[in-house]
Amino acid sequence: MVTSLRSLPVRRPFLTATLAILALAGLAAGALTAEPRAKDLFGAEKLPAVAAAQSFGFYSKGCFAGGVAIPMDGPSWEVMRPSRNRRWGHPAMIALIEKLARDAHADGWPGLLIGDISQPRGGPMLTGHASHQIGLDADIWLTPMPSRPLSMAQRESMSATLMVDEKTHLVKDALWTTRHTQLLKRAASYPEVERILVNPGIKKKLCDTVKGDRSWLRKIRPFWGHDYHFHMRIGCQPGSHGCKAQEATPADDGCGKPLAWWFTAEPWRPNKNPDAPKARDIMTMANLPKECRAVLDAPNPASAEAVTYHGDGLPIAGNDLPIAAAEPPAESSAEATVPVGATAMPASASAFAPTPKIGIPLPRPRPEN
Ligand SMILES: [Zn+2]
C-alpha cells in the first residue's frame, strides 16, 4: 500500500489528508483519556438528585438518587466535619442512624457523633473512603457525644479518640467500656445492618469479652483503620434494582482463624506500591452504572432543608419519580472477583471480599474504608 502511494505522487494529497485525519483521531483519543473524573463531578454536587430513592451499583462503585440529609443536630446526635457535606444517605440509612441514636441513648450512650455518610448524590469522593458511594454506609465515632453542645468550629477540629494501640493492634483497655460493646451490639441488632467494620483489635476485644448471645459478632468485621470510628453498612434497599448486594458474612462469629490472620505480620506489611493510583483517582463516568449520569443530571431540591429528614416518616416532596427504568445489573458486570493484592487474605477475613470488577486494573493495597 505504501509502495503504491510512493509510485503515485498524484495521491500524496490523499496521504496528507489521511495523516491529518489520523492526527485528529489521536487528539480525540487524548481527549478521551482526559475525560472528567467521576469524583470531581460527584464531589461538586451540593444537593441530592430529586427522584425516588434508589442506589445504583456497589458500595465502592456507584451513586444514588433521592438522598436525604440527617439534621446537623438531633436529641442524641451531632454531625461532625459539617464542611465536608457528607451527611447524605438513602432515606432508610438516615432513618436507621436516627433510630440508633435514640436506642443507644436509651442504652446509656450519651449520643452519636456522626462522621461521613455519603456525598449528596454519592459517587466516588474527592478524599477518603473507597466505599460510601451508594448512600448505605455511615461512620459513627467511637467517642461519645460530649455533654456540652459542640460549635460548628469544634465539629471541624475536635479529634476522635484512638481506641487501638498501633503497635500491638490491641484495644487500649483504659479506654474501652461495656458501653462501647453495647453500642456495637445495638447497631448489629438491626436486620438492615449487614456489616459493621471495626479495627481487628476491637473485633478481638469483643471476641474475648462478649458472653451470652454472640450471634451478632458475625456482623462485626475486622478491617484496617476503624480505630476512631465504626462503619455501619446496610443492605440494598427495596426498589433499588440496580444495587449490587455484597456477599453474606459467614454464619460463625468470625473469632477463629480469619481474626488470627490480622495478628500476623502479613496485613501490616508496607504497601509495595504506595504511589499506585487509587480507584477514585482514575474512575470516570464510564466506570459507574449508566444510571449515574441521570443521577448527575437530575434536578436539585429547593434547598438542603427541603430534603432533610426529620424522622417524621413523611415522604419528601418530589422524591417519588424513578430516576430511570431500573434494570437488574447485567450478569457480566455483577461478576465478583477478589481484589488484586488481597489474595493472601482469607476470603472470610475481608470485609469487602468479593468485590465486583471495576472494569479497570486496580491495585487494592490497603483500602482506607
Ligand atoms: Zn466508613
**355 has a pLDDT exceeding 60:** no
Report CA(115)–ligand 1 centroid distance (Å).
8
Report CA(125)–ligand 1 centroid distance (Å).
12
Report CA(229)–ligand 1 centroid distance (Å).
8
DSSP, residue by residue, 206-241: HHHH--S--GGGGGEEE-SS-SSEEEEEEPPPTT-T
Give the SS3 label for residue 196.
Answer: strand
Report CA(3)–ligand 1 centroid distance (Å).
63
Report CA(84)–ligand 1 centroid distance (Å).
14
Q: Tell the burial category of 278 from Cβ atoms under 10 Å away from its Cβ (0-12, 13-18, 19+).
A: middle
Cell numbers 451478632 label which residue?
A: 216
Of 361, 85, 367, the residue nearest 353 (C-alpha): 367
| Residue 47 near residue 67 (C-beta atoms within 8 A) | no
Report CA(231)–ligand 1 centroid distance (Å).
5
Report CA(260)–ligand 1 centroid distance (Å).
23
Report CA(49)–ligand 1 centroid distance (Å).
22
Share of the chain above pLDDT 90, in %: 70
Q: How confident is the model at residue 2 (pLDDT cuts 50, 70, 90)?
A: very low
Q: How confident is the model at residue 336 (pLDDT cuts 50, 70, 90)?
A: very low
In whole angstroms, give the CA distance from residue 46 to residue 307: 12
For the whole model, what pTM was predicted? 0.79
Nearby residues of 3 by Cβ (< 8 Å), 6 or more positions away: none
Nearby residues of 62 by Cβ (< 8 Å), 6 or more positions away: 55, 56, 122, 123, 133, 134, 243, 244, 288, 289, 292
What are the grid coordinates assigned to 173, written together?
Answer: 483497655
Give the SS3 label for residue 164.
Answer: strand
Report CA(197)–ligand 1 centroid distance (Å).
8
Report CA(57)–ligand 1 centroid distance (Å).
17
Q: Beta strands 112-114 and 77-79: pairing type?
A: parallel
In whole angstroms, give the CA distance from residue 237 to residue 52: 12
Q: How confident is the model at residue 129 (pLDDT cuts 50, 70, 90)?
A: confident
Please write the tens of the pLDDT for every residue from 279-324.
888 999 999 999 999 999 999 999 999 999 987 655 555 556 666 5
**346 has a pLDDT exceeding 80:** no
Report CA(209)–ligand 1 centroid distance (Å).
25
Is-cis flag, bond preceding 36, omega within 30? no
In whole angstroms, give the CA distance from residue 313 to residue 95: 8
> In this structure, how many other beta carbons lie within 10 angstroms of the beta carbon of residue 5?
14
> In this structure, how many other beta carbons lie within 10 angstroms of the beta carbon of residue 315?
11
| 193 strand-pairing partners | 234
Burial readout 334-351 (b: 16 or more C-beta within 10 A, e: otherwise): eeeeebebbeebeebbbb
Report CA(31)–ligand 1 centroid distance (Å).
34
| Residue 298 near residue 323 (C-beta atoms within 8 A) | yes
**251 has a pLDDT exceeding 60:** yes
Report CA(118)–ligand 1 centroid distance (Å).
9
Report CA(98)–ligand 1 centroid distance (Å).
17
Alpha helices by DSSP H, listed for the chain, are: 2-6, 12-33, 38-43, 91-107, 152-157, 178-188, 200-209, 257-261, 279-282, 291-297
In whole angstroms, give the CA distance from residue 226 to residue 330: 33
Report CA(130)–ligand 1 centroid distance (Å).
8
What are the grid coordinates assigned to 238, written together?
Answer: 427495596
Residue with the bigger pLDDT between 6 and 81: it is 81
Helices 91-107, 178-188: axis angle to 10 degrees equals 140
Mean pLDDT on 208-237: 97
Q: Tell the burial category of 235 from Cβ atoms under 10 Å away from its Cβ (0-12, 13-18, 19+).
A: middle
Helices 200-209, 178-188: axis angle to 10 degrees equals 100
